[in-house]
Amino acid sequence: MPRQHSCLASFALVLLAVVSAVFAGSVGCGKTPTLKSGTYNATVNNKNRQYILKIPDNYDSSKPYKLIFGLHWLTGTVEKDVWAYYGLQRLANNSAIFIAPQGLNNGWANTGGEDITFIDTIIKTVEADLCVNEKLRFSTGFSYGAAMSYSLACSRPDIFRAVAVLSGGLLSGCDGGTKPVAFYGQHGISDQVLTVAGGRQLRDTFVKANGCTAGNAATVTKGSKTHAKTVYSGCSSGHPVVWVEFDEGHIPAPQDGATGTSGSKTWTPAETWEFFSQFT
């Protein structure tokens, strides 16, 4: 009964398409993992590189997890305490695999694209062993780590679903920047290290690439100790742009009602997590 066969075959094909569209799991799904939380080395362009991997408690290889990169600032570290992974580890509540790669000379100069290649290598290694939702990869970072997250959005728009650029500048390059990637950015109006004007330029790359309606964003007055958030309109489906300006300088964890940076009082993690977790 060839007719019935072909009917079954096309049913199976449709089912496969539906399952793969819904599942989007990496090669590591269903495997008993060999990787554990800890520090790993990778050789990239003949250089020894390191990264810290944090696997969720009660990891389940049948469940595709979010993959979130937390990129350190110059000489900084992002894997500690309440502020772990820019505050996202706590909010993720074991729904994400976190990675903190180490930049060369504690920065992200990305010379000749070598840091992009490093991230590519980590993704390949981790996803061959662990179950990652390939549609839910994210990167965030402050300062140099913001610049590198922006660079990843420029160069790897089909790999990363969204980035959060915290007080960034054009330090790690932008090879691309013409394809849409969901973009969250925040910047202090009194930033003396990387200017707010420079931060707005990074944002505008994705206002344009995402097809949003360009226009002035909300800002705050000096001394107000507040922040102002703009959600851009008109962006193409799945590619929102959100921009926050705050009354402070070059700090990663601004808080309302006070100056200075506080890992436990800042609104940065909540804003970032709200942005990342809208994608499912």
The residues of the shown chain that bind ligand NAG, judged by CB under 6 A, are: 41, 48, 50, 93
* Rounded Cα distance, 53 and 40, in Å: 8
First to last CA, the chain: 41
- Between 83 and 243, name the residue whose CB sits nearer to ligand NAG: 83
How near is the Cβ of 68 to ligand NAG at its closest, in Å?
Answer: 16
**Residue 171 and residue 71: Cα distance in Å, rounded?**
14
- The token pair that represents 91 in the structure block: 């909010």
Of 253, 255, 278, 265, nearest in space to 78 by CA: 253
Least distance from ligand NAG to the Cβ atom of residue 13, Å: 34
User: At closest approach, how far in Å is the CB of 100 from ligand NAG?
Assistant: 15
Nearer to ligand NAG, 92 or 202 (CB): 92
- 49 vs 250 by CB, closer to ligand NAG: 49
What minimum distance in Å lies between the beta carbon of 58 and ligand NAG?
8
Instruction: Quote the least distance from Cβ 268 to ligand NAG, whole Å.
Output: 18
* Nearest distance in Å: CB 62, ligand NAG: 15
**What phi, psi does 268 have (nearest 5°)?**
-55, -50
- In eight-state DSSP terms, residue 27 is T
Distance CA 138, CA 159 (A): 9
Nearer to ligand NAG, 43 or 221 (CB): 43
* 51 vs 246 by CB, closer to ligand NAG: 51
Tokens linked to 233: 């309109």
According to DSSP, residue 84 is labeled: G
Q: Which amino acid is at 228?
A: A
Candidates 22, 92, 101; CA nearest to 56 is 92
Distance from C-alpha of 234 to C-alpha of 232, rounded to nearest angstrom: 7
Residue 41 · residue 118 · CB < 8 Å = no
Contacts of 231 (CB under 8 A, 6+ apart): 240, 241, 242
Q: How far is the CB of 95 from ligand NAG (least distance, A)?
A: 8
The two structure tokens encoding residue 218:
């909300």
Smallest distance from the beta carbon of 87 to ligand NAG, in angstroms? Answer: 14
* Parallel, antiparallel or unpaired: strands 47-54 and 38-44: antiparallel
